[in-house]
Amino acid sequence: MKSASKFEKVAARCWNLLNEGKPFTPIFVIGTMLLFHVGALTEWYSAAALFQSFLYVIPLLVIYYLFDFPLFLRNYLWVPFVVFLIIWNDTNLGLLFFSIGLYFFFTVFFWGTLYYHLRIGTSWLNFTRFWKLVMKNSDSTSGNAQEQLPKFLLVLSLWESIFTKIAFGTSVEFLSIVIFYIFIFVFALILHRNLFDWKPNMYSGYTREHFAEPDKSISDKVIVIVIDGMRKERFYEANTPFLDYLKDNGTEYLNMETVYPARTVVCFSSMFTGTYPMEHGIHSNMVWKLGIKVESVFDSLRKVGKKGRLFGCAHLVDSMGSDVETFTAVMHNDKVDSAIMERAKKIMKEQDPDLLIVQMIATDQTGHSRGVLYDEYLQKIHEADGLIKDFVEWMTEEGKMHNTTLFICADHGQADGIGGHGHLDEGERFVPFFVHGPKIAKGKKVEGKHSLVSLAPTLAYLLGAPFPSHSRGKVLLDSIEQKDEKANG
């Protein structure tokens, strides 16, 4: 399997500018306005007026960048637009219809059809389903129509109104605009402080304050297979005989919670540092400053002369750097997971790491391109089951499973719509998570709530390494049969 090329890594970062909701809004607004007024750019005076009027809407774009409007909060985004219509009563219907048409062209045809066809082989007719997914989507991407529409309609309307006044030499009501912005800022602040209350609770204190660091390893090797975007209840509905065997003969965590925002790079950063975005510094898939700010489990292993490897897609390099071996995500979705697991075998054979983390992506990509409530999604989970069975059997034949602990989990679930994940809608928050191995309790179901940040310290504990410096997660001792007596839980 090919590694992600330098071009693919750069392309992935560029795509995130359009995929992530926050950077998309200003990019889309600017692009739409320039296209709509392309003729004005040929005249110096009109072009200057367009640029000058843009300066007036920058504060509004900043407000929309600073504040999320997750799930039902996005309904309140229509309030500022309605207030604008009442006070100014000034709209360009042509611009608004043009922007709506351009938005759905981008999301439904360019993204949902052309992009997915070229990248993972989705049908040219994918637009017949994708438009429904965009309308239902609740996550923090540009494909969240119910969030993006009221945002860009307001910014474009205000920008057009100011541009028209400047172009015709009419005075701009500067004070009214300032008051309007203050209203929107206070309105957003009140909403977030009083209604935005579903973020997961964070663990206080560091792992080392509650758990004794191990003085010896429990497992010789640990394998973590992350089935990206596997929704919990859909996993239970899928035909997965081998994964069922692992969880029934190991320890299953029934209430394992992901982190907020539930974006892939954020989740992986938290899973393998043991802490939250506020500390590791990764807040979305769009990583402005490369690299996590804290130690990872890979750093912990190096301290005791052990090696870890993460085999994943290109944008995980943005946070984990050289500890990631990449694979190309430009491959037909029916073949990508098979190629990933074959390459995972090669990594184990050639590099023999003490910790191997593998990201399987076909389930997630099917959710994004076709939705999670269809048979295609269950089929991808079923295929993952067979590939994991084949990998474990190969590991056994190679003599590498004698004292190896196996973790199977998802980094986040997926909501309705385009496999949404980010805002923790239904289907995103709790993920499948189970452990299997010779030192792991068999047939155990843990019902208490846990967090994915517990993965890093648990990996360190099993491999006899110190906890990552900022790890806050709990060591999952209730899954380990032979506990270190020093651990005080």
The contacts of residue 81 (CB under 8 Å, 6+ apart) are 150, 153, 154, 157
- Output the pLDDT for position 485: 41
Nearest to 381 by CA among 406, 408, 407, 357: 408
- Output the pLDDT for position 486: 43
The answer on pLDDT for 275 being more than 70 is yes
- Output the pLDDT for position 409: 98
The answer on pLDDT for 384 being more than 70 is yes
Confidence label for 360 from pLDDT (cuts 50, 70 and 90): very high
- Residue 449 β-bridge partners: 255
- Output the pLDDT for position 488: 43
CA–CA dist 74, 269 (Å, integer):
27
Look up residue 287 and give its amino acid.
Answer: V
The answer on pLDDT for 444 being more than 90 is yes
Least confident span in 137-141, 227-231, 411-415: 137-141
CA–CA dist 450, 161 (Å, integer):
51
Confidence label for 484 from pLDDT (cuts 50, 70 and 90): very low
CA–CA dist 260, 39 (Å, integer):
44
| Average pLDDT of the residues in 94-118 | 97
The answer on pLDDT for 321 being more than 90 is yes
pTM of the model: 0.93
Q: Any idea which residue has 């289907």 for tokens?
A: 427
| Cα–Cα separations (whole angstroms), residue 15 to 10, 90, 250 | 9, 34, 39
Question: 66: which 2 tokens?
Answer: 């600073």
- Output the pLDDT for position 482: 63
Question: 34: which 2 tokens?
Answer: 């320039």
| Average pLDDT of the residues in 213-232 | 96
For residue range 122-174, list pLDDT tens digits in order.
999 999 999 999 999 998 899 999 999 999 999 999 999 999 999 999 999 99
Detail the DSSP E strand segments found in 228-373.
Answer: 251-257, 308-312, 324-326, 355-360
Antiparallel, parallel or unpaired: β 308-312 and 355-360: parallel
The answer on pLDDT for 12 being more than 90 is no
CA–CA dist 287, 45 (Å, integer):
38
3-class secondary-structure state, position 276: coil
Q: Is 382 left (phi over 0), alpha (psi -120 to 50) or beta?
A: alpha
Least confident span in 175-189, 209-223, 257-271, 472-486: 472-486
The answer on pLDDT for 271 being more than 90 is yes
Mean pLDDT of the chain: 95
- Residue 477 β-bridge partners: none
- Output the pLDDT for position 487: 44
For residue range 171-188, list pLDDT tens digits in order.
999 999 999 999 999 999
The DSSP secondary structure of 43-104, one letter per residue, reads SHHHHHHHHHHHHHHHHHHHHHHH----GGGGGGGHHHHHHHHHHH----HHHHHHHHHHHH
The answer on pLDDT for 6 being more than 60 is yes
| Average pLDDT of the residues in 191-204 | 92
The contacts of residue 228 (CB under 8 Å, 6+ apart) are 264, 359, 360, 361, 363, 364, 410, 411
